[in-house]
Amino acid sequence: MSSLKFIRYGAWAAVAALAIGAGYVTVSQMQTGGGGAQVASVASIGGPFTLVRGDGTTVTDKDFAGKPLAIFFGFTFCPDVCPTTLSDLQGWIEQLGPDADKMSYAFVSVDPERDTPQVIGDYVAAFDPRITPLTGSREQIDEVIKAYRVYAKKVPLDGGGYTMDHSAMIYLMDGSNRFVGTIAYEEDQATALQKLKNLIARNGA
């Protein structure tokens, strides 16, 4: 596992402690739980965005309205975290059975210079067709990264080239695009699946 993995968690320690520690947390529950500055930060995760799907068509946050959304940020040149997370997500989708269609799923590139629509489309197609591959211009990606409070940084490699250091978790949003929690990288499989089930049940309540 790359040593960069451990840096990814630093910028998100506080959010992860709130969201993962509770197992499944809603914004309203956090608002009644105190911790003013942290609550404001968590509650502000998410927002409007305009991106480009793998087939080249434009997609916005409104295209995901009405269904819960599991959204993950990464890049196609990622050596371990991204393919592992997408493989896990594929497995959870399969285990959800018919309920899987009550949610939306998206993989957003933090490396739009290399991840063109075709590149990210072909990459995500190797997992599950229900996972929407998203990229865009540098400006569009920067906007969605800012909205979701994602950590992403270009890291030069010896001999040229670069990799991307980035947040390594799945963000869980409700049908109104409100942040409700996360699934951590390599989280217990049963716990992660239950979080998705809870999110689907909450949206149907």
pLDDT reading at 111 higher than 70: yes
88 in the same domain as 30: no
Q: Sorting pLDDT into bands at 50, 70 and 90, what band is 17?
A: very low
Rounded CA-CA distance 55/96 in Å is 26
Is 47 labelled as part of a ligand binding site? Answer: no
Q: Which two tokens stand for residue 56?
A: 């080249």
Please check whether residue 66 lies inside any domain of the structure. Answer: yes
Give the other-Cβ count within 10 Å of 4's Cβ. Answer: 17
pLDDT digits (tens, 9 = 90+) for 145-190: 999 999 999 999 998 899 999 999 999 999 999 999 999 999 999 9
127 in the same domain as 151: yes
In this prediction, residue 159 carries a pLDDT of: 87
Q: Sorting pLDDT into bands at 50, 70 and 90, what band is 36?
A: very low
Lowest mean pLDDT among 23-27, 36-40, 137-141: 23-27
- Alpha carbon separation from 17 to 22, 25, 66, 169 (Å, rounded): 8, 11, 28, 13
In this prediction, residue 10 carries a pLDDT of: 38
Q: Which two tokens stand for residue 147?
A: 């909205």
- Between 104 and 25, the more confident residue is 104
In this prediction, residue 39 carries a pLDDT of: 38
Is 189 labelled as part of a ligand binding site? Answer: no
In this prediction, residue 44 carries a pLDDT of: 85
H-only helix segments in 2-137 = 4-8, 13-21, 27-31, 36-43, 81-96, 117-124
Angle between helices 13-21 and 36-43 (to 10 degrees): 80
**Across residues 107-112, what is the average pLDDT?**
98
In this prediction, residue 139 carries a pLDDT of: 97
CA angle 117, 132, 105 (to 5 degrees): 150
Q: What is the residue-averaged pLDDT of the chain? A: 83
Which pTM value belongs to this model?
0.81
Contact 167, 12 (CB under 8 A): yes
Is 82 labelled as part of a ligand binding site? Answer: yes
CATH number where 97 lies: 3.40.30.10
121 in the same domain as 97: yes
**Across residues 63-90, what is the average pLDDT?**
96
Please check whether residue 196 lies inside any domain of the structure. Answer: yes
Please check whether residue 121 lies inside any domain of the structure. Answer: yes
Contact 48, 174 (CB under 8 A): no
140 in the same domain as 116: yes
121 in the same domain as 58: yes
Rounded CA-CA distance 53/26 in Å is 29
Rounded CA-CA distance 8/201 in Å is 30
Strands 179-184 and 169-173: antiparallel
Number of separate domains in the chain: 2
Q: Which domain holds residue 104?
A: 50-204
- Between 44 and 56, the more confident residue is 56
**R_g of the chain, CA atoms, integer Å:** 16
pLDDT digits (tens, 9 = 90+) for 119-152: 999 999 999 999 999 999 999 999 999 999 999 9
131 in the same domain as 95: yes
